[in-house]
Structure 1
């Protein structure tokens, strides 16, 4: 999905992309289609992409599993 001002962005790091896509389908069914990003860029973090997502979405959610180094902290 493209960036949608006022919407939801989900950044998925690691093996949870499938679950994020399922959540995205459920949100879309409720009229809240999110932008889903596979955060393969965790190291080094793609700061331009994260800044763009943050500027163009009301909500920015990070999903990680067993990630060392605090992906959410890096995004913040």
Structure 2
């Protein structure tokens, strides 16, 4: 899965189960916050299997951008 590979390639941005933090983080709603829903319910809710939620924190913007770029190119 492309979305999971991207998340696993991040080095600076943390993978979390919630995004209420001052640091940059990502989560995969289909397997975290919405895991109790069926595939049909996920689609009805607009939660595609490849959806990633990114919460940008207070770190240096260049560090965040560099991490996202390297993960996209991994």
- TM-score when scaled to structure 2? 0.30
Q: Which has the larger radius of gyration?
A: 2
Name the structure, 1 or 2, with higher relative contact order (CA <8 Å, separation 6+): 1
- TM-score when scaled to structure 1? 0.30
